[in-house]
Structure 1
Amino acid sequence: MSHHHLSLYEREQLALLRVKGVSFREIGRQLNRSHSTLSWEYGNKAKYGREYVPCKAQEKAEKVAVDQRTKAPLKNHEVFLYVREKLRDEHWSPEIIAGRLPIDHPGQSIHFETIYRYVHNAKKTGRKRLWRFLTNHHHRRRKKHGRSVKVARYLRATPLVQRPVEANDRKIVGHWETDNLGGKISDKTTISATIERKSRYTILRKLKNKSSIRKIHSIKSGVEQFPVEMRKTLAIDNGPENAKHRLLKGAFKDGVYSCQPYHSWEKGAVENTFKKSRYFIPKGTSLDSVSVHKVQLIEDWLNHTPKKCLGYKTPYEIMKQELELLKQQGGAFQVRM
C-alpha cells in the first residue's frame, strides 16, 4: 500500500468513482490506498456539502506542503512572538531584545543582527513594515558610524577635563548630564533631560519656555529629590539655557562642568536618551504640541526599559539598588521615583 501523498490522478479517480457511488473501501482497493486516507481527503476538501474538485484539492495540498517546509521566522515561534511583542509593543531595540531573551526565556537565544535583517527584509515581513518600530525609523539598513556627530558650542565654565576622574568610567553613582531636546525653531517650549551616568536614570521635564532660569529650576527640582551623596557633578553644554549654570553649584557638591568644544559625546548618556526619545517625538515635531503627560510616559518608558550596558537591567532597578546601598550605609532620606 502506498504511503505517498495523493496525486492529481488519484484525486480525479476518487472524484469519478464517488460520483458513481463506489465506496471508499472499494476505491482504496483499486488505488492501493487506505480507505481512511481517501475518506479524510474527501471530507476535508469537500466540507459543508460542497463538491469535491480534484484540481482545487491538489492546489490546496501543494500549498500546505510548501507552508510546512517553510522555516519559521526568527528560529522558532516562541522567539518570533517575543521579538514581535518587544519590538512593536515595548519599543525595545533589537540589541536589547537579543540580550533580554535568554533572561526571560532560558535556553532561547538570537543575535540582534538576525532581528535587524528580518526587520529590513520586505519579502519576509510583507506589509508589517516593522522598521517603523526601530528607534530612527530607517526603512533601509544604514552603515554603522555613517553619520557625523553634531557639534556643540563652547560654554565658558569649568572644562569637563577637570571633573573628578571617577565620573569617567561610570562606576560611581552621582554624576549627571543635562541638555534640552531640539524641536522646531519657532517652539516656545522645550523638554529638559537630566540623566545619571551610572544608572542611566532619566528625569524629563516639559519647560514652558527656553529661559535659563526655567532650565535651572527644572534641574534642581529633579535632582534634589535624591540625597546629596548622589548629586556630585553635572555636565552641560554651551547653550544659552545654561547661561546661569552657577546657580546649580549648590545642588551638586563637586561642581558643574561644561563639555569641550567639538566633544558633544562627552555627555553621551543624554545624547543617547534623546535618540531613543525620537521614537515618540520624531525630528521636526513641534514640542509645543507635546503634553506633560506624554513626557512623563516617555520618562517612565526610558527608566523601565532594560539596557545592555546595565546587564539588561533597567535604570530604575539600578537606581533603586544604589539607594538601598546608601541607606544601609547610614543615610536618612526619602526619595520619590
Structure 2
Amino acid sequence: MRRSYTHLAVQERALIETQLKLGMSPAAIAAGLMRAPSTVTREIRRNGWLAPAELSRLGRTRIAGGYRCVAADRRARLLAAKPRVARKLILGNPLWIVVVDHLRHGLSPAQIGSTLARMPDPVQLSYETIYTALYTMPRGHLRSSLLALMRRRHRARRPHRRQDGRSKPSIPEMTLIDQRSVEIRMRLIPGHWEGDLIIGKGNLSQVGTLVERTTPFVALVKLTSSKADVTAQAFTEILNRFDSQLRRSMTFDQGSEMRHHKTLTANTGVDVYFAHPHAPWERGISENTNGLLRQYLPKGTDLSLFSQDQLDDIAWRLNTQPRKTLGWKAPAELFLPEDAFDFVQHWSPKINHVALVP
C-alpha cells in the first residue's frame, strides 16, 4: 500500500478496465495495483460502472461493467483543472486592482498579504495566491508588465543560486567580526548596523547601504566615488543623522572603500567590525536588503544619477513596508520614536475602499 496518495494514472485506469473485463473484483484489482480498495471503488462508480447484480436487471451485460478508461481519464483531467472553490483573486476584480496597486508601491506578495490583513476591513490573502495569479497569466504584454513590478523580475519562480565571493584587500588595524559583543551578535538592542556598497553600471558608480540589525531600518548613502576618504565622509554624514544611542557599531566587508574606518569611528563614535572574506552570510541582513533595493536600483543602472533626496525616498519605501521577520510590522514602526509612524494611516489612503471581497 502506498504511504502517500497520488491520482490514478491513465495506465492504471487501462488495467482497471482490462481486469474488469476479465471479471476480477474491485478488491482484487486494488490489491494488484497496490491501491486502497476505496480508491478503485470510487473510480469505477463515478465513471459508470455497475456491479453484476445491478447489470442483471438491465438486460444485456455491459463490457467491463460500463467503465471506460479513456473517458474516465478525460473526466479526471477536466475536474483537476476546475477549482473546487471560487478564486478570490481574479483578473480585473477589485482585489486584483488593489494587489496591482501595492505592487506598484514596491511591496512583495507576502507584504501585500500582511498589509491587507492589518487594514480596518481586513482581507485574508495568501502570498501564494498572488504568485499563482501572476505566473499563470497568459503570455503577453500584460503579464510582462506585471512581472516587471516584482522585486526580482523573474519570468518564473526559481531558487536562489550560490555565488562565490572574491578576494578582498586587507584593511589596516581592522577588528574582525569574531570580537563583536554578545549584544551585537544577538541583536539585543538597536543601533548596530551592517554596511555595504551597491555597484552600478560598468562598476563606475555606487551607493552605500546601511541596515540596522534589530529593526531592520535602511539608510542609503550617495557616493561620488568608492575612494576610502569619500566613503568615510559620506557614511559619517548619514550616520550622524541618528542619535548616538542609535549608532553604536557597523559591520562591513573587507573592501578597500573602508580603509579609513578609524576616521569614521572618530567622527561618529561607531565601532567598525569586518566580516571574513568570502562569507556574505555573516552580513545576511545587508545582503538580503541589497536584493530588495535592486527593485529600485536595478543592475546596469548609472547610480550617480540618483540624488541623496531620491535615495532617502527609496529607503523610506523599504522602511514603511511590512516585514515577515518583524511579525509583519514595518521597520519604521520599531526604529523611529513611538507614534512617529502610523502604519494604518500611511497605507490606508493607498487602498481603494471598495468591496474587496463579495
- Which TM-score bucket, shorter chain as reference? 0.5 to 0.7
Residue in structure 2 matched with residue 26 of structure 1 by the alignment:
none
Does residue 172 in structure 1 map to residue 186 in structure 2? Answer: no
Does residue 236 in structure 1 map to residue 260 in structure 2? Answer: no
Secondary structure of 2:286 counterpart = helix
Q: CA deviation at 1:70?
A: 11
Cα separation, 2, equivalents of 1:252 and 1:323: 27
Does residue 148 in structure 1 map to residue 148 in structure 2? Answer: no
Contact 1:101 1:109 (8 Å CA) reproduced: yes
Residue in structure 2 matched with residue 216 of structure 1 by the alignment:
232
Contact 1:172 1:198 (8 Å CA) reproduced: yes
Secondary structure of 1:181 counterpart = strand
Residue in structure 2 matched with residue 97 of structure 1 by the alignment:
112
Change (3 A) 1:106 1:181: same
The letter for the 1-side match of 2:284 is G
Residue in structure 1 matched with residue 129 of structure 2 by the alignment:
114
Aligned positions of 1:118-197 closer than 5 A:
118-123=133-138, 127-129=142-144, 130-143=146-159, 146-151=160-165, 153-154=167-168, 155-156=170-171, 157-185=174-202, 187=204, 189-197=205-213
Contact 1:176 1:233 (8 Å CA) reproduced: yes
Contact 1:118 1:124 (8 Å CA) reproduced: no
Secondary structure of 1:80 counterpart = helix
Cα separation, 2, equivalents of 1:306 and 1:251: 33
Structure 1 stretches of 4+ with a deviation exceeding 6 A read: none
CA RMSD of aligned residues (A): 2.8
Q: CA deviation at 1:297?
A: 2.3
Change (3 A) 1:170 1:323: farther
Secondary structure of 1:283 counterpart = coil
Q: CA deviation at 1:124?
A: 9.1
Residue in structure 2 matched with residue 299 of structure 1 by the alignment:
315
Deviations 1:177-203 (A, max 9, x none): 11111112351x421111211122222
Q: CA deviation at 1:317?
A: 1.9
Aligned positions of 1:313-328 closer than 5 A:
313-321=329-337
Cα separation, 2, equivalents of 1:220 and 1:291: 17
Contact 2:261 2:272 (8 Å CA) reproduced: yes
Provide structure 1 residue ranges, at least 5 long, that are not aligned to the other structure: 1-68, 325-337
Cα separation, 2, equivalents of 1:84 and 1:114: 13
The letter for the 1-side match of 2:306 is V
Contact 2:239 2:268 (8 Å CA) reproduced: no
Residue in structure 2 matched with residue 250 of structure 1 by the alignment:
266
Change (3 A) 1:251 1:199: farther
Match of 2:221 among 205, 214, 221: 205
Equivalent pairs, count: 252
Secondary structure of 2:301 counterpart = coil
Deviations 1:77-102 (A, max 9, x none): 45433322211x21101111122221
Change (3 A) 1:170 1:100: farther
Provide structure 2 residue ranges, at least 5 long, that are not aligned to the other structure: 1-83, 341-358
Cα separation, 2, equivalents of 1:173 and 1:70: 46
Q: CA deviation at 1:251?
A: 4.9
Contact 2:254 2:276 (8 Å CA) reproduced: no
Contact 2:240 2:268 (8 Å CA) reproduced: no
Cα separation, 1, equivalents of 2:247 and 2:166: 24
The letter for the 1-side match of 2:117 is P
Secondary structure of 1:204 counterpart = strand
Query: Identity of counterpart residues, as a percentage?
Result: 28
TM-score relative to the length of structure 1: 0.67
Cα separation, 2, equivalents of 1:209 and 1:158: 24
TM-score relative to the length of structure 2: 0.63
Q: CA deviation at 1:75?
A: 7.2
